[in-house]
Amino acid sequence: MADKSGNMKVPEFLREPLDAAQSRLAEFEEEAQRVYSEVQRVLKDLVEKGRASRKDVAELVQRLSKQDWKRVDEIKGRVSKLREQGLSRAHELRGRAESFRAEAMERLEDLQTKAVAFLGVATRAEVEELSRELEKLASRLGNDKPARRRSPKRRAAGA
């Protein structure tokens, strides 16, 4: 079944499927070679990017190590000064707000007094003074206490 060159003689009915299988195998090998080439290219790109990133990180570390850290104290001083200025400004604004509130309350009371006078309604102070005057008049008439009206329940009970 084998000739002198080592090739096997294939019967004619198997030759066609064998040729088709060999052509598919060749296609698979070509596709595998393309995929392998693509993988190698991608890996090379990744390795290059990794090296570039490592260089960038090394540069950043070097720049950070060279920085003048004395400026941090200067920045802290500036922040403290700003905080103090902010507090003093806040106290100033609080004082102004309190004076504004007091002035607004005075104006509101004045407006309230003017409204009561305009409407002709007696103020609390006027009502209290009127009550004191009535008590004085009642005591002059001989009654120590002003006459009280009996409630309907007491009249019924006392009658």
Residues of the domain holding 62: 9-67
Report yes or no on 15 lying in a domain.
Answer: yes
Report yes or no on 124 lying in a domain.
Answer: no
User: CA 109, CA 107: separation in Å to the nearest integer?
Assistant: 5
Report yes or no on 22 lying in a domain.
Answer: yes
User: CA 84, CA 73: separation in Å to the nearest integer?
Assistant: 17
Tens digit of each residue's pLDDT (9 = 90 or more) over 76-119: 888 999 999 999 999 999 999 999 999 999 999 988 888 877 88
Enter the tokens of residue 75. Answer: 């920045």
Report yes or no on 30 lying in a domain.
Answer: yes
User: CA 136, CA 145: separation in Å to the nearest integer?
Assistant: 10
The tens-digit pLDDT sequence of the chain (159 residues) is 445 555 667 678 778 888 888 899 999 899 999 999 999 999 999 999 888 888 888 888 887 777 666 777 788 888 999 999 999 999 999 999 999 999 999 999 988 888 877 888 877 888 899 999 999 999 988 765 555 555 555 545 554
User: CA 101, CA 124: separation in Å to the nearest integer?
Assistant: 24
Query: What is the domain count for the chain?
Result: 1
Report yes or no on 91 lying in a domain.
Answer: no
